[in-house]
Chain A
Amino acid sequence: MQTLIEALQEALKLLLTLDARLLGTVTLTLRITLTSLALSTLLGLPVGAALGLTGRLPARGLLMAALYTGMGLPPVVVGLFVFVLLSRSGPLGELSWLFTPTAMIFAQTVIALPLVIGLTMAAVGSAHPELRPQLRALGATRWQTIATVLTETRLGLLAAIAAAYGRIVAEVGAVMLVGGNIEMKTRVLTTAIVLETRKGAFALALALGLILLIITFAANSALLRFGNWNGQPR
């Protein structure tokens, strides 16, 4: 218990003195996680919305099974897959992305994408079946109908984004594999926590953990605030 209290005190001290290494790790974490989230959202929301709005699809069962498998993919397997793809002898080896933040963004986007697609599809699909005919009966165009359905299901869409961010920000296995945990280059909060704990530097590890919690809390609060926005038709 005493160790924990001392570690927490040390953590607060590190946070308040704005330790340079700490700041570097936090900045890189934010850059990588937010870029991954933006990419997975930009790609996943339209695909998920299209799937949710389309009732019948050929091979829908197979598509759903693949999607749900993707939602539960072990991150370390994704990391391994991306590692092989980006390794010098791999099909994307010429890009020289391995052990760079770009490789980490690639891996995290792959991890989050099925989650965004699946949860967006579920949110849009949960809209009442009579909503779209009602909107059309009120004179909505096809795009006005889609925009209104998305606005009406915005809480579900935000939940999809929040879940994706949760998965991205907590990820350690894949980014460790493809990033290599290189200080001031590819070291992010989660990989730094693992390293500092192994070294016995509990205070720094706890400080990193606290920051991770604060970032996640801030991100979710912002999303919830956005969810309470009262949408208007376009």
Chain B
Amino acid sequence: MDNHVESPDLYRMKALRKDYNGRTVLHIGALTINRGEIMAVVGPSGSGKSTLLRLLNFLEPASAGELHFDGRAMPADPPLATRRKVTTVFQRPQLLNRSVSANVAFGLRLRGSVADNGRVHQTLERVGMTALAQSTTRTLSGGECQRVALARALVLQPEVLLLDEPTANLDPYNVNLIESLIGEQHLLYNASIVLVTHNVFQARRLAQRCALLLDGKLIEVAPTETFFEAPTDARVAAFVGGQMVY
């Protein structure tokens, strides 16, 4: 019998490090992500934001350090049931060469939920893609592709939703739509969301806590209001103030 008690911390990282070809691209001394919160991770390109998401989705093992999820230390390849609690929407959605509807149903089919067409239809409605449900993904615009990618993740009702620059290069209509869907998912399903972005305005609009990554190092984590109005680190003040930070 599993006597596991739900941990208040969803993720807990300690001395977590990721190296590529001998070069450290991410080194986090300590970071906790709370259950049910939206955390934004901001930082310039190449600061290690996407690498952090890959570790949080167990797509790659850490080079060193500890990663705890749901109160348990995570091995290099966690069990499938644990992996399936988390999903990521990538910056460049890799849609399958199938219909929009088949793409949205994909994750459910992987889990054996073949007949859940109602859930797929409902999710397509949420992202405003019902009319294009039978279209192939090759005919979609960038914004439509990102909405399908988001629908493909939302339909799974994951405990943790990881978003890697979900609105990069999108028009204001799609940005608004995607931001409202993120907020809705949080409210409806109490999903824990980690949003990676270099758009500080978006971070401020959506997140309850924000973190700044620079050169793979965590500079500061604070509640959104504090992060923007009274950061303790000058580099955070410079970044949210729109100055280039190195």
On chain B, the residues within 8 Å of A136 by CB distance are 57, 59, 83
Can you name the residue of chain B whose Cβ is closest to the Cβ of A148?
A: B96
A144–B109 Cα gap in the complex (Å)? 10
| B38-74 residues at the A interface, CB under 8 angstroms | 54, 57, 59
Can you name the residue of chain B whose Cβ is closest to the Cβ of A140?
A: B110
| Residues B102 and A230 in contact, CB atoms below 8 Å apart | yes
Other 10 A-B pairs with CB < 8 A, given A134-B88, A134-B93, A230-B98: A128-B94, A131-B94, A138-B110, A138-B152, A138-B153, A139-B83, A139-B110, A139-B111, A139-B156, A141-B110
Cross-interface CB contact of B102 among A128, A137, A141, A232, cutoff 8 Å: A232
Chain A interface (Cβ < 8 Å from any Cβ of B): 128, 130-131, 133-141, 144, 148, 152, 230-233
| Distance to closest chain A CB from B48 (angstroms) | 16
| B89-104 residues at the A interface, CB under 8 angstroms | 90, 92-94, 96-99, 102
On chain A, the residues within 8 Å of B93 by CB distance are 134
A144–B112 Cα gap in the complex (Å)? 12
| Residues A232 and B88 in contact, CB atoms below 8 Å apart | no
Can you name the residue of chain B whose Cβ is closest to the Cβ of A234?
A: B109
B227 within 8 A of A: no
Cross-interface CB contact of B109 among A131, A137, A232, cutoff 8 Å: A232
A-B contact pairs, 10 of them (CB 8 A): A128-B94, A130-B90, A133-B54, A134-B90, A134-B93, A137-B57, A139-B87, A140-B110, A141-B110, A232-B109
B131 within 8 A of A: no
B107 within 8 A of A: yes
On chain B, the residues within 8 Å of A152 by CB distance are 96-97
On chain B, the residues within 8 Å of A231 by CB distance are 98
Q: Which of A137, A152, A230, A231 has the most CB of B within 10 A?
A: A137
| Residues A138 and B87 in contact, CB atoms below 8 Å apart | yes
Chain B interface (Cβ < 8 Å from any Cβ of A): 54, 57, 59, 80, 83-84, 86-88, 90, 92-94, 96-99, 102, 106-107, 109-111, 152-153, 156, 162
| Distance to closest chain A CB from B182 (angstroms) | 17
On chain A, the residues within 8 Å of B97 by CB distance are 152
Can you name the residue of chain A whose Cβ is closest to the Cβ of B136?
A: A230
| Residues A141 and B92 in contact, CB atoms below 8 Å apart | no
A175–B225 Cα gap in the complex (Å)? 79
Cross-interface CB contact of B92 among A130, A135, A137, cutoff 8 Å: A130
On chain B, the residues within 8 Å of A233 by CB distance are 106, 109-110
A130–B99 Cα gap in the complex (Å)? 20
On chain A, the residues within 8 Å of B96 by CB distance are 148, 152
A230–B99 Cα gap in the complex (Å)? 9
Cross-interface CB contact of B80 among A133, A134, A135, A141, cutoff 8 Å: A141
8 pairs of A and B residues whose beta carbons are closest in the complex = A134-B94, A139-B84, A137-B88, A138-B107, A131-B94, A133-B59, A233-B109, A137-B57
| Residues A137 and B98 in contact, CB atoms below 8 Å apart | no
On chain A, the residues within 8 Å of B107 by CB distance are 138-139
On chain B, the residues within 8 Å of A148 by CB distance are 96
| Distance to closest chain B CB from A148 (angstroms) | 7
A131–B162 Cα gap in the complex (Å)? 16
A140–B86 Cα gap in the complex (Å)? 12
| Distance to closest chain B CB from A150 (angstroms) | 12
| Distance to closest chain B CB from A54 (angstroms) | 17
Q: Which of A139, A141, A148, A230 has the most CB of B within 10 A?
A: A139
A130–B86 Cα gap in the complex (Å)? 17
Can you name the residue of chain A whose Cβ is closest to the Cβ of B53?
A: A137
| Distance to closest chain A CB from B220 (angstroms) | 28
A139–B97 Cα gap in the complex (Å)? 18
On chain B, the residues within 8 Å of A130 by CB distance are 90, 92, 94
A185–B92 Cα gap in the complex (Å)? 58
| Residues A137 and B59 in contact, CB atoms below 8 Å apart | yes
